[in-house]
Structure 1
Amino acid sequence: MSHFYFLPGASGNTHFWQPLLTKYLNTPHTCKIISYPGFYNEPPVPHIQSFEQLSDHVLLQIQCPSIVVAQSMGGLFAIRAALEAKSFMKGLVLVATSGGISLDEFDIDDWRADIQKQNAQMPDWFIETQANYEKELISIKIPVLLIWADEDPISPLAIALKLKSYLPQAELKVIPSTSHHFASLHSEEIKGYIDEHFDLF
């Protein structure tokens, strides 16, 4: 049996992963979505006033050996967990994320203005974070599965290829899509990739 933790993207939308979680019902595996206080109808908490504090909060939720599945900005929390909570990390699934590498060389759509329009209460410290784990990625030795769309304007496939060059245990799977949110629309394919990569059944 495996335990999964699912991390949403910048919106904090906990419903994003629901189609994939549903497919793990009636299996021996357990799943939990980690919510972000102050995001997507989650009430804020006084002790989270920075990206680092939110990252600390996410890490504290990971309390057993697990596979962490992360979308977009959630990948920053997942990478930190892989670096700092090694005893709890059995595997990592990164979906359309920067993974904490520099994006200066890539031609990408600016998602920050759009996400702030959708969530006017989103704190500036979250939007402006520049967390960078590029130098530490090579130390991540657990199995990593990268899942990308072939034409995502926010996280292009070139980002996945660069991440793969840093992560010694990474495998890349590509799904035809032009949407940054393709994972919620292709849950059957993604479950198949995860099950195969981690030999779950």
Structure 2
Amino acid sequence: MIGRLQGVLAEKNPPQVLLDVQGVGYEVDVPMSTFYNLPAAGERVTLLTHFVVREDAQLLYGFLTAQERDAFRQLVKISGIGPRMALSVLSGMSVPELAQVVSLQEAGRLVKVPGIGKKTAERLLLELKGKLGADIGVRAGAASDAQGDILQALVALGYSDREAGAALKALPPDLGVSEGIKLALKALAK
């Protein structure tokens, strides 16, 4: 199994990168969260990988962090969730956001990911419950009911998950819902 690649980033064509490792070019599919954090072409990079062998293909999936790879591996263990859908989930939300969605059982946020319907979202929530541990979902363990309510309110008001999550990070953890929404809206208005 190929667990890690270290080399020069030769090409970047979302969602795939070409990594030159001592003269051998590896085509690696990456989630958009990894893609956006990659250095420029020609720079050195290290990717943690997950290698999939099928009858018709051998595929490499790459991640900048162990958290992303661990979440990917948890996702592909679920019946009906293949590597492409797992990449789609990780492209649509960060690992801490996914852990928070699972801990708060928010199927509505998963349905926003392309390719995931209501039944698949519910199955994901059921299968992942308790499996995205504290090492993967740092924010999920710390998320109080008030933080979950603030996040839901911001998303309902039309803000993206990223914008709402960024505003939530800036708030003190022991804030009430109404005061938290007011402060988050002020921060987002800037």
* TM-score normalised per structure 1: 0.30
Higher relative contact order (CA 8 A, sep 6+): 1
- Hey, which of these two has a bigger chunk of helix by percent? 2
* TM-score normalised per structure 2: 0.31
